[in-house]
Chains A and B, each alone.
Chain A
């Protein structure tokens, strides 16, 4: 029998997925709904998949939030996870991309003793070379900020450690998909196809005292 080469060629339904595990950036556009973070987190935790990085923020569209989730997995697994996330009622759309497909940044804050910064020219040079910016300068410490890829922020971390680094924190990753034209277009398409009412939100937590009327 002549077997047809049909949808196997369609990228969305390819059966032969790349089996290498690598970093994937999952971008989910969602309603701003209490409890949704838990619903999404469960999709990973029930499969015992660790989330490397998670950022949730408002998107460019009012009322729609954007999740940036980084995991290390094979494409096959990531595709299934993306579908499971998109299946949630309050999720509008999910994309997944490799690092090569996105522009991404992480922010890092470094707290360093001010006397060291003031006294050692070497440190000052380090900061300048790494594009660090002073955020706070106090007598006892100074906080610097850099943004960049993980290796870049890591490099400065390693370099500052011998000079009495007091504290370090790095943000979750945020990423923009190189090939996408944003979500506006997609949302307009959804609304054109099925226009509807705005979704109610649980506002109790902002309105605690006014709720209780009895």
Chain B
């Protein structure tokens, strides 16, 4: 077997030096600024792992317990840091275990580069041991993928991979490298980052005509309304967005992935949109005259019934992805481009205004919602603990400075609705795909991506058991992740739907759980279980003060429902408070 030479200075090679494909792979990662990789070794990726042995100083490899955990961790890393997450896996089952994470990253526009090992090139298509056609399997769930069969292709393929993953509308890419390509020695040229691909135009030329039309529409509007999504965060346009909102004086509501781009406490932030969003933003969507959608995609969980969605409004849509403009709702003014570029152009053309009476209507609706739902959720009068009060107490302790990573289900909606956020990139969740099991590994990744911020994972008892094995990753790396399990002893969101829409036929939603604190102890992670109100606050304080990871299990009321709610097939204006 050929052995890879030990790299003296992997980041910059002045002259061609014979290296193995595996070394070239790691040199490319270093050159792209990667500092952390999440992965799991296996037969077809051994050469890269062998080379990694000599790259320990430059690349921190986190050994996860399952490849799905690896890619979710890479997603968490990307979401909390704004950088590209990297996951490594072997061929066959290792590669297929990435599929859920790829689908999640694609729908949530998360920049991730996955590198998979593949069987020797001469074995391709022969049903070799641990061979799967991962390129074809992942085609629908990647922004781009590519199979490398020769070492010479590696630098360019990885340069393209990183460029595609992070530019335009970000997304996951997968580079599959055959074992012979990893082992083959070749004269590696100096690494050249990719800045252009002939057929790929991630940054459109902004057409000023449409910006002017948008400004004219906004200036003539009496009841304008802003909907913002993750595009603001992905574009790094938080400051530009805030300037636009404040000059226009327009009430603004967010999709769950847009959360945090405008602080929770901002007077023009009127709350969350969609199925479990706030009452006012949903009702008043059908009363505004101009709807300004910024970096969001009119997901069905946001719009409810499309034929009854904002039919009265002229819609201005700012988005970097042209396929999103006009996809679900008819658009009056398409502003195609990166909102970091388009928003300042728009802000310059709009008149400073205050829409006091219109904004007051949002606040009136909020008062109604507080009375009907929020007060009892956050400050319950019943004996049993609620998910909302856990978030409320957490807010008071962290003051909105923590990165919250939520899983999928009722607790996710509670976390999204009630988590206070002072800054962007403070909430990592699986929005589009709704992947249970996302939060624990994503929280590990989020901590590596934002090491100086407290990271709190909020997870249901169901989702936690889907990737519970990643406690092993926490144990081995010593990463500091605070875990709150909101245990209602049900698959709560499904139970809620069965209660509301299926005559309380609770079909297989009653889930038994292990002693989570004991399980954590088995992984040498500290923990506590709380089922009384008096214990909650001290336990949360203890958890946050604890040096290192901590698992806090909170037994919450079993059959609580998440309201408000737009029932499926209804208009957003038909949102139920109860």
Interface digits, B314-338 against A, CB 8 Å rule (1 contact, 0 not)?
A: 1000000111011100111110000
Of the stretches A51-59, A135-143, A163-171, A196-204, the one at the interface is A196-204
Residues of B within 8 A of A193 (CB): 205
| B198 contacts A199, C-beta separation under 8 Å | yes
| A200 contacts B156, C-beta separation under 8 Å | yes
| B321 contacts A87, C-beta separation under 8 Å | yes
Q: How many residues of B contact A (CB 8 A)?
A: 54
- Chain B nearest CB from A40 CB (Å) reads 10
Q: Which residue of A lies closest to B135 (CB)?
A: A35
Partner of A87, one of B145, B197, B216, B322: B322
Q: Which residue of A lies closest to B203 (CB)?
A: A194
Residues of A within 8 A of B164 (CB): 89
Per the bound structure, the CA–CA distance linking A90 and B2 in Å amounts to: 35
B87 within 8 A of A: no
| A211 contacts B210, C-beta separation under 8 Å | no
Partner of A89, one of B144, B148, B323, B327: B144
Of the stretches B91-99, B217-225, B496-504, the one at the interface is B217-225
Residues of A within 8 A of B157 (CB): 200
A208 within 8 A of B: yes
Within B164-204, the residues touching A (CB, 8 Å) are 164, 180, 183-184, 195-201
| A191 contacts B198, C-beta separation under 8 Å | yes
- Chain A nearest CB from B95 CB (Å) reads 15
A125 within 8 A of B: no
B146 within 8 A of A: yes
| A91 contacts B150, C-beta separation under 8 Å | no
B136 within 8 A of A: yes
Partner of B323, one of A38, A42, A84, A197: A84
Of the stretches A4-12, A98-106, A146-154, the one at the interface is A4-12
| A208 contacts B144, C-beta separation under 8 Å | no
Q: Which residue of B lies closest to A81 (CB)?
A: B323
Residues of A within 8 A of B146 (CB): 202
B570 within 8 A of A: no
Per the bound structure, the CA–CA distance linking A16 and B144 in Å amounts to: 33
Q: Which residue of A lies closest to B171 (CB)?
A: A89
B140 within 8 A of A: yes
| A31 contacts B198, C-beta separation under 8 Å | yes
Residues of B within 8 A of A2 (CB): 220
Residues of A within 8 A of B221 (CB): 1
Q: How many residues of A contact B (CB 8 A)?
A: 47
| A92 contacts B326, C-beta separation under 8 Å | no
| A195 contacts B322, C-beta separation under 8 Å | no
Interface digits, B17-41 against A, CB 8 Å rule (1 contact, 0 not)?
A: 0000000000000000000000000
- Chain A nearest CB from B239 CB (Å) reads 27
Residues of A within 8 A of B452 (CB): none
B153 within 8 A of A: yes
Within A173-212, the residues touching B (CB, 8 Å) are 190-191, 193-200, 202-204, 208-209, 211-212
Q: Which residue of B lies closest to A6 (CB)?
A: B213
Residues of B within 8 A of A214 (CB): 1-2, 120, 180, 183-184
Per the bound structure, the CA–CA distance linking A59 and B298 in Å amounts to: 37
- Chain B nearest CB from A52 CB (Å) reads 22
- Chain A nearest CB from B250 CB (Å) reads 15
Residues of A within 8 A of B323 (CB): 80, 83-84, 87
Residues of B within 8 A of A3 (CB): 289, 314
| A13 contacts B201, C-beta separation under 8 Å | no
Partner of A212, one of B1, B120, B136, B333: B120
A15 within 8 A of B: yes
Partner of B139, one of A4, A38, A199: A38
Q: Which residue of B lies closest to A29 (CB)?
A: B199
B427 within 8 A of A: no
| B122 contacts A212, C-beta separation under 8 Å | yes
Q: Which residue of A lies closest to B147 (CB)?
A: A202
Per the bound structure, the CA–CA distance linking A208 and B120 in Å amounts to: 11
Per the bound structure, the CA–CA distance linking A8 and B184 in Å amounts to: 57
Residues of A within 8 A of B132 (CB): none
Q: Report if A31-B213 is in contact (Cβ < 8 Å); known contacts: A15-B331, A87-B321, A212-B180.
A: no
Q: Which residue of B lies closest to A209 (CB)?
A: B122
Residues of B within 8 A of A16 (CB): 330
Q: Which of A31, A89, A91 has the most CB of B within 10 A?
A: A89
Residues of A within 8 A of B153 (CB): 200, 202
| A211 contacts B196, C-beta separation under 8 Å | no
| A211 contacts B180, C-beta separation under 8 Å | yes
A21 within 8 A of B: no
| A89 contacts B213, C-beta separation under 8 Å | no
Partner of B326, one of A13, A89, A195: A13
| B147 contacts A42, C-beta separation under 8 Å | no
Per the bound structure, the CA–CA distance linking A214 and B183 in Å amounts to: 8
Per the bound structure, the CA–CA distance linking A46 and B332 in Å amounts to: 28
A39 within 8 A of B: yes
Per the bound structure, the CA–CA distance linking A203 and B153 in Å amounts to: 10
B433 within 8 A of A: no
Within B103-145, the residues touching A (CB, 8 Å) are 120-122, 124, 135-136, 139-140, 143-145
A213 within 8 A of B: yes
Contacts A6-B216, A199-B197 known; 7 new A-B pairs at CB < 8 A = A3-B314, A7-B332, A35-B135, A89-B164, A89-B200, A204-B124, A209-B122
The 12 listed contacts between A and B (C-beta, < 8 Å) are: A1-B222, A4-B220, A8-B330, A38-B139, A39-B139, A79-B326, A89-B199, A196-B198, A211-B122, A213-B180, A214-B1, A214-B184
Using a CB–CB cutoff of 8 Å, the interface residues on chain A facing chain B are 1-4, 6-8, 13, 15-16, 30-31, 34-35, 38-39, 42, 46, 79-80, 83-84, 86-87, 89-92, 190-191, 193-200, 202-204, 208-209, 211-214
Using a CB–CB cutoff of 8 Å, the interface residues on chain B facing chain A are 1-2, 120-122, 124, 135-136, 139-140, 143-150, 153, 156-157, 160, 164, 180, 183-184, 195-201, 205, 210, 213, 216-217, 220-222, 289, 314, 321-323, 325-327, 330-334
> 10 nearest interchain CB pairs?
A15-B330, A196-B196, A204-B149, A212-B122, A6-B213, A83-B323, A92-B199, A89-B144, A211-B121, A89-B200
